[in-house]
Amino acid sequence: MANHKTTSGAVAAAPELLIRIDRAAAPGLRAQVERELREAIRTGRLPAGAELPSTRALASDLGISRGIVVEAFEQLLAEGYLSARRGSGTMVAPGRIAADRGKEAVPKSAAEPARTSVRYDFRPSVPDTSTFPRRAWHKSLRRVLATAPPAALDYPDPRGTRALREALSSYLNRVRGTAAVPERMVMCNGFTQGFRLVCSVLKQRGARAVATEDPSHEEQRAAIRAAGLRVVAVPVDDKGVVVERLERTAASAILVTPAHQFPTGAVLAPQRRAALLAWATRRQGFVIEDDYDAEYRYDRDPIGSLQGVAPERVVYIGSASKTLAPALRLGWLVAPVELLKDLARIKEMEDRGSPGIEQLAFADFLECGELDRHLRRMRRIYRRRRDLLAKALRTHLPRHRVFGIAAGLNLMLELPAGADEEVIAAAAAAHSVHVGGVQRYCVRPNTSPALILGYGMLRESAIAEGIRRLAAVLDSR
């Protein structure tokens, strides 16, 4: 059997193949092998282009003579199910298969639209994945694989690998001012899973409603509803979430982005921070702190986490999606003691813990100071992009106010009253400029129209031209 190349260019070993035969049953063995292979191809279990094991390997796996397998292959070659090329073995022929069945039924995720085809991509929420520190990450992975004992490959502690909870808690205490200890941490698959776990625990404890900022991500509201809870939308102004409005609701928990409100960029003002924590104490409720991009701040003082001030009333959720890459799916919770056991239990029930090797690699990466190094580098890069974007906006759109510029990877550009964000976004897209409006994040459509401009993905050379094109679109309205 010839080895074949994988999508990453590696040479793969001969594939295994599940085939069931019954030596006692009619029809004979050859017919059974043929039928099993045909069925696997028809149902898409063996897709077009899939390599088959060699006749020798398959015969040996099935404990039958090689001649039977050779005959079965020849029959399927004749029927057009298989094709054989000299030097590359036997594979499933294109065109005969049902493997594409159902592809259309799989919804595309929001992150999936072809980012590469957009020349001026101002979509928010995505860091520059081309700057991922591959070499340092690779070193950490290699070190971990070389040194981790066999026990490290057993089922992990559902709260996460101890080494990572230790490294991460000291990183968070140092950089984000949390009051984290390894015992209070639960590693999870991104913020997304962490928040779902929190919603499930709150529901089990009898909560009825969870509040979110308005505007905020629709997916977060969907997660609240999916847990059987009601969503309460609390408005946001330039000082962050309006706590007075929260006090009038029945919610016993609220999800907030205090360091850099998403998507407006507002920072939760000191009085509001105090009021929010006072509300949580009075209500014996919880503040769920989404600390998704706080490491990126350029010209403002650092803002410590709320969790560090009230660790028994705040559930802190962090993520490597902005600092490193969303594909890592690395997230973490620092939880009040009251919720800890239930969070760990639900995490165990959901998936028995997050992938252990990646956790160990992340621990090594943190301990070597690689995250600090990467963030120092990225802060410089993003600050330059932010400065160029601010300059381009001043030059081409001087009458439009800009918010949330001091931190994060996106800012908000105010549009004239009555402007239609969707129409503007469509017109900009026709000029290869991809922007989105704020209304899509709003529950109540009373926020004045604005565009959210992300600069995480933008090349420096594209910023001025992208904004010049956007200005031309806005001027022509």
Residues near ligand PLP (CB under 6 A): 125, 190-192, 217, 257, 262, 290, 292, 319, 321, 326, 331
Contacts of 183 (CB under 8 A, 6+ apart): 165, 340
Min dist. Cβ of residue 191 to ligand PLP (A): 3
Min dist. Cβ of residue 264 to ligand PLP (A): 11
Nearer to ligand PLP, 160 or 190 (CB): 190
Nearer to ligand PLP, 50 or 199 (CB): 199
Distance CA 211, CA 223 (A): 12
In this structure, what token pair is assigned to residue 432?
């290869």
Min dist. Cβ of residue 75 to ligand PLP (A): 49
Q: Count the Cβ atoms, other than its own, within 10 Å of residue 412.
A: 23
Beta pairing, strands 120-121 & 433-434: parallel
Min dist. Cβ of residue 317 to ligand PLP (A): 8
Min dist. Cβ of residue 320 to ligand PLP (A): 7
Nearer to ligand PLP, 195 or 286 (CB): 195
Min dist. Cβ of residue 344 to ligand PLP (A): 19
Taking Cα atoms as reference points, which of 288, 467, 292 lies closest to residue 395?
A: 467
With both helix axes pointing from N to C terminus, report the angle between 370-396 and 460-475 in degrees, rounded to the nearest 10: 30
Nearer to ligand PLP, 33 or 180 (CB): 180
Nearer to ligand PLP, 90 or 359 (CB): 359
Nearer to ligand PLP, 89 or 454 (CB): 454
Nearer to ligand PLP, 217 or 313 (CB): 217
Name 230's bridge partners.
209
Nearer to ligand PLP, 125 or 161 (CB): 125
Query: Do residues 263 and 441 make contact, with C-beta atoms less than 8 angstroms apart?
Result: yes
Q: Count the Cβ atoms, other than its own, within 10 Å of residue 86.
A: 6
Min dist. Cβ of residue 322 to ligand PLP (A): 7
Min dist. Cβ of residue 467 to ligand PLP (A): 23
Nearer to ligand PLP, 319 or 359 (CB): 319
The greatest distance separating any two alpha carbons of the chain, rounded to the nearest whole angstrom, comes to 84
Min dist. Cβ of residue 42 to ligand PLP (A): 38
Beta pairing, strands 209-214 & 253-256: parallel
Q: Count the Cβ atoms, other than its own, within 10 Å of residue 468.
A: 16
Min dist. Cβ of residue 216 to ligand PLP (A): 7
Nearer to ligand PLP, 92 or 333 (CB): 333
| 31: amino acid identity, one letter | A
**Nearest residue relative to ligand PLP (C-beta):** 190
